[in-house]
Amino acid sequence: MNPNTTINRRDFIRATTLAAAGVALGVAELQAAQAGGKKIPWGVQLYSLRDQCKTDLPGMLKVVSDTGFKGVEFAGYHWRSAKELRKMLDDNGIVACGTHTPYETVVGDKLKDTIEFNKTIGNKFLIVPSMNARTKQDWLDKAKLFNDLADKVKPEGMYVGYHEHAPDFKKIEGETPWDIFFGNTKPEVIMQLDVSNCSDGGSDPVAILKKYPGRTRSIHMKAHGAGPEAVIGEDKLNWPEIFAWCEGPGGTQWFVLEHETSKDPVDAVKRSFAALKKMGKV
């Protein structure tokens, strides 16, 4: 992969290699920590700052850190090596809480390089953001593949997962791709729901989350239904129930903020943090 390539939402990922090492808390331990008052950390999906990252990735990592977020989820590397990225993260006191890595980089011989890259940047969540699958059998085949991948990355302290888009909630052959895939993958495969995309697909994110306890190690938190500048809490989603599930049976280890539509992305990230602080979530 060429880390210098610029990527648009689905392709933004296709010029990249990703995700990482580290031993994760088990769901039971995580819930115990949360019961003791420990908050789930928040990261920023860097697609939120995609244009700014093209010209000033170090500056954007500093903005994320200075705002108060604890990590970032990569979606492209902007011509940086794994060692360079790790230094930038360390210099700003933040971590890689995930990465959107192309499907092509987790299959075949490329998986080894992807694991090594993510070991270096310190990331343990390898999230595939899109896949070509049109039939139920296609999705079943992908589920089998991800079960195998989960076993392969487990010794490295890593997880594989899938990030959904609205079409994944449109039924094919009587069932949604989301349910076909996650209904046939093992618990170690991360179910990275995007609550806004889910709503765009006509589904209730709370209902979807509740079907799969313990699977939401990472989740995209994005305002929905209130205009391009709205941040979490200013929109139409049922945030109290989403938070309650993630902080309990969902087993969430990272909340990942995404804001794709603001005319001033940096301001949107800062306003989002202020809203979360007001809600007591950071």
In DSSP notation, 53-98 reads HHHHHHHHHHHHHHHT--EEEES--TT--HHHHHHHHHHTT-EEEE
Calculate ∠ Cα 225-60-124, nearest 5°.
Answer: 80
Other CB atoms within 10 Å distance of the CB of residue 90: 11
pLDDT score of 110? 97
Tens of pLDDT along the chain (282 residues) come to: 333 333 454 444 443 333 333 323 344 544 444 445 579 999 999 999 999 999 999 999 999 999 999 999 999 999 999 999 999 999 999 999 999 999 999 999 999 999 999 999 999 999 999 999 999 999 999 999 999 999 999 999 999 999 999 999 999 999 999 999 999 999 999 999 999 999 999 999 999 999 999 999 999 999 999 999 999 999 999 999 999 999 999 999 999 999 999 999 999 999 999 999 999 999
CA dist., res. 98 & res. 179, Å (int): 23
Number of Cβ within a 10 Å radius of residue 119: 19
Other residues' Cβ atoms within 10 Å of the Cβ of residue 274? 15
CB 268 within 8 A of CB 231: yes
**156 vs 199: CA distance, rounded Å:** 34
- Alpha carbons 24 and 36: distance in angstroms, whole number: 18
Please give the radius of gyration of the chain, using alpha carbons only, rounded to the nearest integer. Answer: 17
pTM of the predicted structure, to 2 decimals: 0.87
Q: So what's the pLDDT on residue 38? A: 78
CA angle 60, 61, 65 (to 5 degrees): 115
Q: Which two tokens stand for residue 65?
A: 């850190």
d(CA 203, CA 175): 13
